[in-house]
Structure 1
Amino acid sequence: MPQILEDQTITEFRDKGVTVLRGVFTDWVETLRSGIDSNMADPDPNARIYKGDNGGGRFFVDYCNWARFDDYKDFIFNSPAAKIGAELMESRQVQLFHEHVLVKEAATGVPTPWHQDAPYYCVSGPKTVSLWIPLDEVPRETTLEFVSGSHKWGKSYRPQRFDGSALNEDDGLEDIPDINGDRDQYEVVGWAVSPGDAIAFDYRTIHGAPANNSASRQRRAFSLRLLGDDARFVRREGIVTSPPFPQVALKHGDRLAGDEFPVLLG
């Protein structure tokens, strides 16, 4: 199969920890919208719904439902997502970690706090990528933002829930810097995106998003978390991970394996 992405895009992902992909999933927008409709009608017990102080729209967050919804399975196994992931990670193998749905309805006064994904997770590996796929028009002022190059800092910051509370109070990690209070000190990047575009980023890249204060525009996004060569399971006693994967019996340091983490390529 010919290469999908330009070399410049792959280099940008490697150097900055984030890049934008235009129109790569245009043919899959309706499939993912249908899947999200089904998911919101039948959420997992672990789904979370946040509401701002102003009592506006909901911020709906759910994950690990791909095996329950045919639209999600269709996208994960039949779209070019795995091939794109392989090119970005420069990896022979691509494995599914999980999917993540994030819907900010109109007038959702709840921002997504600055964070890294990696410290939340029960997996690790030298090659990681999230594909954040908008299913609505997202203007620059409400898009996901990233601190360029932060994946190379060698830092792991304390995970927090999307309401700002710590996931683990005594995890030994430091608080994330106050990006909003000192934006001039960082290269903050973000893009206006359309349905079918994708923003690809390393699990270690710091990112966040403002509240959706639009009175009429919702922001639906489907995020696919992929892993490349030599992915390993991480088990830390007394530490809550998100997603938790309580049914997985792998030991700390085991190669990632099992029905929960299918190999998509390689």
Structure 2
Amino acid sequence: MVDPAMVAFYRDNGYLLVKGLLSRPEAQAYREECHAVLGRLRATDPTWGSARELAGGATELRHCHDAQFYSAAFARILVEPRFTDVAAALMGTENVQLHHTKIFVKPAEKGSPFPLHQDAAHLPHTRHTVGAAIFHFDDAPEEKGCVRVVPGSHKQGPLPHIEEGGWHLPPSEWPLRAAVPVEAEAGDVLFFSYLTVHGSGVNTAAEARTTFLVQFRDPLDQPVDDVHRSRGQGMMLRGVDPVMPSPAA
């Protein structure tokens, strides 16, 4: 059961850190799986140009999309009731549909930051139910570039973003240092609305920061534009798809 106070906090603040959703041994196993997947792939660095400016020097980021197509471990976590029950409660629906997944690893001592932004700028939807869950597979204190949020910012609706350098908010109006750091431990999961302004700092610690991002939605919420596709998009993680489009002949 999800505590109603958790839902109320999420609706007021636009985010919720769920402590210990996974055990530390589970988180460690997923951490190893993340690094194994990235070790098998030809890695590309998705660091935004605006992030390099924010960092004031060279930084790195390792990632991959659609992790469940590279390892069954990530397919299992997508339908884990400990996760999907929280996602459903926060959206206020019985049905949870996948939008996309990503593995993110910020390497030790030089892991790239993210300027403040809303995910809505990258994947706008009609009903704004889209949410994100960041699974932490190792500890994420502030020095490891933990996520930072602006509580209550989701209530402002979609904000105009700067396209150049990665679809981010104007740093002069939305400085990263003004956002609240959400430090986490291995096994914690951070949920937030795609309208919540968020970003993250540089990982200056001696250990990588390893996370798994799942973005989800109410299946009744349709994308505004065809701007962000993934191989798994539309998969039901909980409940049913009430739209049920007819299969292709």
TM over 0.5: yes
Equivalent residue, structure 2, for 1:200: 191
1:222 maps to 2:228: no
Superposed counterparts of 1:48-197, under 5 Å? 48-50=45-47, 58-108=60-110, 110-121=112-123, 123-141=125-143, 142-158=145-161, 165-166=165-166, 175=170, 178-180=173-175, 183=178, 188-197=179-188
109 and 195 in structure 1: CA distance in 2 versus 1, 3 angstrom threshold: closer
CA 80–177 in structure 1, closer or farther in 2 if over 3 Å, else same: farther
**What does the per-residue CA deviation read over 1:236-255, in whole Å, with 9 as the maximum and x for residues that have no partner?**
5xxxx3x444x8xxxxxxxx
User: When the two structures are aligned, how many residues end up with a matched partner?
Assistant: 231
The Cα of 1:38 is off from its aligned counterpart by 3.1
Unpaired runs of 5+ in structure 1?
Answer: 168-172, 248-258
Report if aligned partners of 1:136, 1:194 keep a CA contact under 8 Å in 2. Answer: yes
Q: Is 1:18–2:15 an aligned residue pair?
A: yes
CA deviation after TM superposition for structure 1 residue 63, in Å: 1.6
- In structure 2, the residue matched to 1:9 is 6
Deviations 1:76-127 (A, max 9, x none): 1235211110011111210011112111111115321111111101645332
Going by fraction, where is helix more abundant, 1 or 2? Answer: 2
Contact 1:132–1:224 (8 Å) recurs in 2? yes
User: TM-score, structure 1 length as denominator?
Assistant: 0.76
> Which blocks of at least 5 consecutive residues in structure 2 are unaligned?
240-249
Summarize the Cα distance change of 1:6–1:210 in structure 2 as closer, same or farther, 3 Å threshold: same
Partners of 1:158 and 1:63 in 2: CA distance: 23
Q: CA RMSD in A?
A: 2.8
* Structure 1 range deviating more: 34-43 or 142-151: 34-43
CA contact (8 A) 2:111 2:208 kept: no
Normalised by the length of structure 2, the TM-score is 0.80
Structure 1 counterpart of 2:242: none
Shift of 1:65: 2.9
Amino acid at match of 2:181: G
Q: 2:41 aligns with which of 28, 36, 43?
A: 43
Identity %: 19
Correspondence for 2:225: 235
Q: In the TM superposition, what is the alpha-carbon distance from 1:67 to its structure 2 partner? A: 2.4
Amino acid paired to 1:233: P
Amino acid at match of 1:105: P
Q: In structure 2, how many angstroms separate the alpha carbons of the residues matched to 1:104 and 1:13? A: 26
Which residue identity does 1:190 align to in structure 2? P
Aligned counterparts of 1:174 and 1:132: Cα–Cα separation in 2 = 21
1:211 aligns with 2:202: yes
